[in-house]
Amino acid sequence: MAIHPIEFRYGTPEMKAIWEQESKLQNMLKVEAALAKAEAEIGLIPKDAADEINKKATTEYVKQERVDEIEQATHHDIAALMKALEEVCENDAGEYVHYGATSNDIIDSSQSIQLKDSIIIIREKVVKLIELLIDLAQEHKNTVTIGRTHGQHALPTTYGMKFAIYIDELTRQLDRLDLTKEHLCVGMMTGAVGTTAALGDVGYDIHMRVSEILGLNPVHISNQVVQRDNHAEYVMTLANICSTLEKMALEVRNLQRTEIMEVGEKFDPKKQVGSSTMPHKRNPITGERICGVSRVVRSYVNAALQNNPLWHERDLTNSSCERIILPESAILTDYILNLSLKLFGKLEFHEENIERNLNLSNGLVMAERFMSKLTQKGMGRQSAYSLVRSCAMEAYAQDTGLKDILSKQEEILEHLTMEEIEETMDPHTYLGSSAKFVDNVIKYAKKAIKE
């Protein structure tokens, strides 16, 4: 019976396939086969034995059920793998299985293949999300909205700016993923404490050749394991990506509040139900799920960092932890990337509410523009700030428009005409270099994803 939500609720088939038991077993067998091939090429083991090992080192011959059965007796997963592979090899080929290796040569090298495949899937989806956001940024480059700082109305901005912020951040996440892949996805065949002593003078050559066969860069140096700062970097990178996705989803959730309602998730009124008791509800469930699941991935960062300081050349404290956090962080990050593609691919805009909220303060958000305009007309900046602030506080107190208060100030009328005051009140024309920023981000992102 399924227990964990990943089994039945969260995750995509393509990412789950990388981490399922049979795939893990196949990758470990692939490493054993690569080891035998490299050793035969150098002359350490007979070529016929290496050919037989390579033929049988698949889940077609080595069954997970048999490996599990052996492990019940040995209490050692790699010893069980070796025995199961040895059993299916004909003649004496099984005698040469795992020669010169230690368990973590197999575990870390095969895990590197899984991690590499995971990063490829995640990277592809980050690119898709960037492309989707580029379309939104271009479409809404001039959709003016109120910017909010501290939850309060600040100055006009654009939805193009909002989306460009996400594009720029996700582009940096691509850089982090690529760097993580370079550090993390390495091959290792270095023996019990990293010296390759069991393989003699050709140990380093076999280490290099095994990595080449597996399509991995060889680790520069190891003890019994690839150092876990690399794995911590991987989990931190995924957590960082999740933090970006949560930031994006949180903004949509806030903008979908009933009192704001500028953008929101697509809702199918014919099928979708928002509440079991409140018939009117249209809840931001996709965004909420993104935010909730991202917390789980972020929580794994602490555990990943604690996996780095192991005793001497290695202890086992990282192993059980990684069996949980590595597959789950990949599966959940991939899952909320899918949710983010769904959310932003069907985002609904309520133009009338965007405009309503832009003007909700009755002109108070244009106070900075008045200060700048007065300064340009010859008033000192500090004096202009003090005067406009005084007018703004009066407008607050009287619950009236800022323009009405400003228009009665003789000191202001000495510098600005009524026509200039009216023009200064238009929030749609106070956007500075926003369009240029958006264009530059899009240009850079397009170049980055093309490369």
293-308 residue pLDDT tens: 999 999 999 999 999 9
For residue 245, name the pLDDT band (cuts at 50, 70, 90). very high
What CATH number is given to the structural domain containing 414? 1.10.40.30
Residue 234 to residue 304: CA distance in whole angstroms: 9
Catalogue the E-assigned strands of 1-158. Answer: 144-149, 152-158
- Asked whether residue 415 falls in the same domain as residue 311, the answer is no
- Asked whether residue 327 falls in the same domain as residue 199, the answer is yes
pLDDT at 281: 83
- Asked whether residue 15 falls in the same domain as residue 107, the answer is no
Residue 177 to residue 115: CA distance in whole angstroms: 11
CA distances from residue 325 to 37, 50, 231, 293 in whole angstroms, order as listed: 32, 35, 10, 13
Q: What is the pLDDT of residues 339-391, one digit of tens each?
A: 999 999 999 999 999 999 999 999 999 999 999 999 999 999 999 999 999 99
What CATH number is given to the structural domain containing 122? 1.20.200.10
- Asked whether residue 92 falls in the same domain as residue 39, the answer is yes
Active site residues: 150, 275
Residue 1, in any domain of the structure: no
- Please measure the distance between the N-terminal and C-terminal CA atoms of the chain and give it in whole angstroms: 45
Task: Tell whether the model's pLDDT for residue 269 goes beyond 90.
Answer: no
For residue 74, name the pLDDT band (cuts at 50, 70, 90). very high
Contact 220, 146 (CB under 8 A): no
**pLDDT (average), residues 242-261:** 97
- Asked whether residue 330 falls in the same domain as residue 350, the answer is yes
| Contact partners, residue 268, CB within 8 Å, separation at least 6 | none
- Asked whether residue 326 falls in the same domain as residue 182, the answer is yes
pLDDT at 2: 87
Question: 432: alpha, beta or left, given left = phi > 0 and alpha = psi -120 to 50?
Answer: left
pLDDT at 276: 79
pLDDT at 180: 98
pLDDT at 328: 98
Q: What is the mean pLDDT of the chain?
A: 96
- Asked whether residue 356 falls in the same domain as residue 230, the answer is yes
Above pLDDT 70, what percent of the chain? 100
Task: Tell whether the model's pLDDT for residue 226 goes beyond 90.
Answer: yes
Question: 110: alpha, beta or left, given left = phi > 0 and alpha = psi -120 to 50?
Answer: alpha
**pLDDT (average), residues 408-429:** 92
- Asked whether residue 145 falls in the same domain as residue 237, the answer is yes
Residue 413, in any domain of the structure: yes
Q: What residue type is 248 in one-letter code?
A: M
Beta-carbon-side half-sphere exposure of residue 398 (alpha carbons within 13 Å): 14
- Asked whether residue 323 falls in the same domain as residue 447, the answer is yes
Task: Tell whether the model's pLDDT for residue 271 goes beyond 90.
Answer: no
More confidently predicted of 227 and 279: 227
**pLDDT (average), residues 99-128:** 98
Nearest alpha-carbon partner for 446 in 232, 217, 134, 183: 134
- Looking at 68, 99, 130, the residue that finishes a domain is 99
- Asked whether residue 264 falls in the same domain as residue 287, the answer is yes
Write down the residue that tokens 């990506």 correspond to.
241
Structure tokens at 59: 């889940």
What CATH number is given to the structural domain containing 53? 1.10.275.10
More confidently predicted of 323 and 275: 323
Structure tokens at 16: 């789950």
Residue 110 to residue 322: CA distance in whole angstroms: 14
Above pLDDT 90, what percent of the chain? 91
Task: Tell whether the model's pLDDT for residue 325 goes beyond 90.
Answer: yes
pLDDT at 251: 98
Task: Tell whether the model's pLDDT for residue 126 goes beyond 90.
Answer: yes
Task: Tell whether the model's pLDDT for residue 278 goes beyond 90.
Answer: no
Give the residue numbers spanning the domain of 22: 11-99
Q: What is the pLDDT of residues 158-216, one digit of tens each?
A: 999 999 999 999 999 999 999 999 999 999 999 999 999 999 999 999 999 999 999 99
Question: What total number of domains does the chain contain?
Answer: 3
CA distances from residue 187 to 114, 122, 184, 195, 329 in whole angstroms, order as listed: 12, 21, 9, 15, 22
pLDDT at 279: 85
Residue 5, in any domain of the structure: no
Task: Tell whether the model's pLDDT for residue 286 goes beyond 90.
Answer: yes
